[in-house]
Amino acid sequence: MNKSEAKVANAILEDPEAATRSSIAVLARQPQVSEPSVNRFCKRFGAKGFPDFKLRLARSLVSGVRYISRAVEMDDDIDTYPRKLFDNTITALMLARDQLPLSAIERACRLPRAGSAHLFPRLGTSAAVAQDAEHKFFRFKVPVTTCTDPSCIACWQQVAGSAMLLFISHTGRTEILVETAELARTTEATVVSLTAEGSPLAAASHLSIGLSVSENTEEYLPMTSRIVQLAVLDVLATGMTLRRGEGILPHLARIKDSLKSTRFLRGLIDDFFHNLRRNHGRGGRYCPLRAHVRLLGDILGKIIRDNAGEALFDRVEQIRLRSKEAQDSDTWEALDQLLASLEEANSSL
């Protein structure tokens, strides 16, 4: 193919479904080529012209098993369809990565202000993605919630002040979401969307993070589009964390530590040895020695709460002895104090 034909090919590959709905003039305008170049491209693939090419393209897009996935066929076996689905997802992620609107993402990472709230309206197949967003963003010391009731969203945005509303939709054509976004723009809220480029939802947003994922969710189950949305949310959450600097790390560590009481004692002990080995193997630079003290404190607390008592005393004594490999007198002293506390707790159980 010559350069003009290659431009046409890239334009079609970016959004094959849109190409099936485009006129030849619209398609030629996107890569800035002439209409004869589009026709030559179509004939190169055996089509009589652009209308015939669009028909063939549309037929190819509806291959696969309807209502399941375009990537698989009904006679695919267990050795085939898992690989197809994974390959399809990997390809979608790579294409999305290469087309990420980095400037829009950077602007979105700067938007949250101290004390401002985040709302993730969730509807339809993107609801699970919005739920994941809530799980990620509550760590930033801001009120975060998801909501499915449009009337609740309307009330919420009236009282939330300078809130950020993040709408997530693959098509960007869900009427109720677009109407809610338009209503939110009449308040002090900032409307951000993670949706298809050029969609009504994108137009209704202050800032749109445009995604081009070639998946017809009206015909097939949403698969790759949701994975791409989740990956972009990870990018946003990481960007917001990095913008806050190292000052946010103790807060994130406390969140992680709060979950340790839910784990089996054996897991806490294994973590202790793992951290100790990492630290000793890297000359004490990889894992701060105070982490050993904190982790042993978690073990002690778990022993007391679970009323484990004497049965685990010897095990913790081994931990104390092995911790001396760290060669840090302050750490030894702290560990000795913890062991003394364990002895006291053990005698009272």
pLDDT of residue 125: 75
Of 247, 276, 291, the last residue of a domain is 247
Domain annotation covers residue 72: no
* 3 state DSSP class of 263: coil
pTM: 0.63
Q: Are residues 153 and 101 in the same domain?
A: yes
Torsion of CA 253, 254, 258, 259, to 10 degrees: -20
* 3 state DSSP class of 11: helix
pLDDT of residue 316: 58
Of 219, 247, 275, the last residue of a domain is 247
pLDDT of residue 232: 94
DSSP conformation letters of 97-125: HHT--HHHHHHHHH---TT--EEEE--GG
Q: Are residues 225 and 272 in the same domain?
A: no
- Could you tell me the residue range of the domain that residue 280 belongs to? 259-348
Torsion of CA 103, 109, 110, 115, to 10 degrees: 160
pLDDT of residue 89: 84
* 3 state DSSP class of 209: strand
CATH number of the domain to which 196 belongs: 3.40.50.10490
Q: Are residues 227 and 270 in the same domain?
A: no
Is 342 within 8 Å of 305 (Cβ atoms)?
no
Radius of gyration of the chain (CA): 28
Q: Are residues 167 and 126 in the same domain?
A: yes
pLDDT of residue 287: 47
Would you tell me how many other CB atoms lie within 10 Å of the CB of residue 94?
10
pLDDT of residue 119: 76
Segments in the chain below pLDDT 50: 65-67, 115, 282-287, 349
Q: Are residues 203 and 272 in the same domain?
A: no
